[in-house]
Amino acid sequence: MLARLAVALTIALAAMPEGLAQPTLPDYRYFRALSIDLVGRPPTRDELAAFEGPGFQLDAWLDAQLASPGYAERVRRIYEDVLRLELGPSFQFVPNPLELRRQRVTGPDGEPLDVYFRRGQRRIDADTDGDFCLTQAETGLQFPANAAPTGTAHPVDAKVLAARTALVKPWWLYADARAVAPADRVAPDWATRFPGFVLVPALAFEPDGKTPSTAVRVCREEAQTAETGAVYASGRPGPKKGAPPPAGRLTQPPGDSGFAKAAKGRAVSCASGVGFAASAECGCGVGLERCLPSPGAANETAAFVMPTHVPFGPGLPFEASPQPPAAWLRMWWGEEAKRFMDRVFLEDRDVRELLTGREDQVNGPLAQFYRALASATCCGASVELGYTQPEPLVEPGAVPEALVPQDTATWLPIADRGPHAAGLLTMPVFLTKYGSRRARAHVVASAFLCHEFLADTVKLAPSTEPDLTKRPGCSACHTTLEPMAAAFTRVSESDWTWLPATQLPMVLPRCAADKAPGSCKGYYDPAFGNQLRGAYAAPSRAEAGPAGLAAEVVASPDFAPCVVSTVASGLLGRALIPDDTAWKAQLVGAFTAGGYRMRALVRAIVTSPRYRSGNDTRGTVSKLSSLGSHDPE
């Protein structure tokens, strides 16, 4: 009876001329809720005055807000809550090939002098191979890892310094560091040109803290700019067991790996971790762009002054503090995912692109990452199996060359990230936040199919069954989870390195041999016929990769209902209940018929009686009740 009365009143109010009905308290509550959800804040006095005016048109107001950044941010935050993509301060992932550390020595003039180097850098001289390029005899100091130097410093001979080091104008001091004669040095106008790019003083000034740095002194190997280098094998005999390091060293010089012995002289990419680990000819590139600065050798690891508390986004921080290079990376990885989602929602694109899209937008820091830094994690132990040239998830050639590392404000499109791209699923923030194959699959199933993995109530018993889809007590979850996890087989765990079938096929005969290389264990699983690890439950999905999984997910009958449930729950502030079933089905039908566009779905939700009544528990019929969808009661 009450429902019929409400409908009758709604129809009667809809027939009234615009402006006759005055806003009621429920109207104000409803408008306030709409403003918070679609604008991002409560309405201002001027907006309330317009709302109260006789000419206010809710339809036109909604059209304007649903084309605004506030609406896109609101929907994106709903998905951020579901995906939990933030990387916290505990994420300190910057591998040795990327990090330039600083050691302070005494220069020939007796003054302090900073020299930058990479830990583990290959050098021809056994005294410095894999270590700092100046010895204890030359500096009077020893340099323990992650600790302050020990010993008594004395001036470094000028000829030794000239032979072992070079002066470089680095990218963090010069926006035109790639030029033959860089001149665009960091200056006050950079705060406007490159907002948010702020160096810690130790990177911008000489050791006296007063003189602006115009160049940095770098070990000569790190200063090299070649794109490729030859694999180096020293031929030195390995140290005897228990033998102390050579005089002046704290560690033994690096030995020759099996790969180095077999591939001596072969060209390898200097942008890859292989080049760093195997060649003495690979440095940080032109302007040191393949490296990130870290001003201290011990606890002085901060490089950039960055926002710390940002409830309103990085552009409006509550405070900022010195942060290490890892924080610089994770901030821009997060911004990449946010802008990707914002674009889908703001341009009202097909929501399925969240998983299938191959387009992207990058700014200067992201361009530097994809162009010069991302391959540094490749290829680990797989070099012993023949994988030395990284196959990236984002083609470096697709990255706009015009972007310099400092340019935080300019965002340019990448039309196609490459054949392995799969929306959010192949972005660094996702692949590092969810490091394991199973974690990645779990969040995909949870966020985009609303599938929860609930274990059976059976009692767990000891089992030697390696197949989790069959193991008692595990199969209830893993029957679904393992095949989905197989889709991430060819993406390294806790990393973004692609494992191509050309070098790492599903089964590698040499890894199935009786005397298989030790490196096989990291990639091939003897429990499943020496098949590529993680692929056993669905080899075809492993070959299809994240892009194949994305195509399956968006084609699933559970995808659209999950999108509707996620967005409706976020806007209503509660989970959907059985009473919402008919309404949900109506929304799903409209959503799919409209081409999976988010704008129409959000409009249908916020103009529904459920949304209105959720913001006015008395359910009073009001001026605005006549607008919006009439969902079934």
pLDDT tens digits, residue range 134-164? 999 999 999 898 788 999 999 999 999 999 9
Q: 347 CB contacts (<8 Å, ≥6 apart)?
A: none
- Dihedral of CA atoms 365, 366, 368, 374 in degrees, nearest 10, equals 130
Burial label for 235, CB within 10 Å (0-12, 13-18, 19+), is exposed
Closest of 289, 280, 482 to residue 374, by C-alpha? 289
Residues in the chain: 633
pLDDT computed for residue 312 by the predictor: 72
User: Is there a contact between 168 and 216 (Cβ–Cβ < 8 Å)?
Assistant: yes
The span from the CA of 438 to the CA of 330, in Å, is 22
Section 401-428 average pLDDT: 96
**Which of the residue ranges 12-21, 194-203, 330-339, 395-404 would you say has the lowest mean pLDDT?**
12-21
Residue 485 pLDDT class (50, 70, 90 cuts): very high
pLDDT computed for residue 477 by the predictor: 85
* pTM of the complete model: 0.90
pLDDT computed for residue 614 by the predictor: 79
pLDDT computed for residue 197 by the predictor: 94
Section 456-485 average pLDDT: 83
Write the CA distances from 173 to 44, 289, 329, 585, 602, integer angstroms: 43, 11, 18, 57, 46
pLDDT computed for residue 299 by the predictor: 56
């039908």: which residue's tokens? Answer: 589
User: Is there a contact between 288 and 100 (Cβ–Cβ < 8 Å)?
Assistant: yes
Between 238 and 401, name the one with better pLDDT. Answer: 401
The span from the CA of 223 to the CA of 103, in Å, is 15
Closest of 4, 5, 30 to residue 617, by C-alpha? 30
Residue 381 pLDDT class (50, 70, 90 cuts): confident
Section 424-433 average pLDDT: 96
pLDDT in tens, 269-307: 999 999 999 999 999 999 999 999 987 655 567 899 988
């492993």: which residue's tokens? Answer: 542
The span from the CA of 626 to the CA of 633, in Å, is 16
Q: 304 CB contacts (<8 Å, ≥6 apart)?
A: 197, 198, 199, 200, 322, 323, 325, 327, 328
Q: Return mean pLDDT, the chain.
A: 89
Section 359-388 average pLDDT: 93
Which residue type does 120 have? Answer: G
Residue 380 pLDDT class (50, 70, 90 cuts): confident
User: Is there a contact between 219 and 165 (Cβ–Cβ < 8 Å)?
Assistant: yes
Residue 46 pLDDT class (50, 70, 90 cuts): very high
CB count, 10 Å around CB of 311? 7
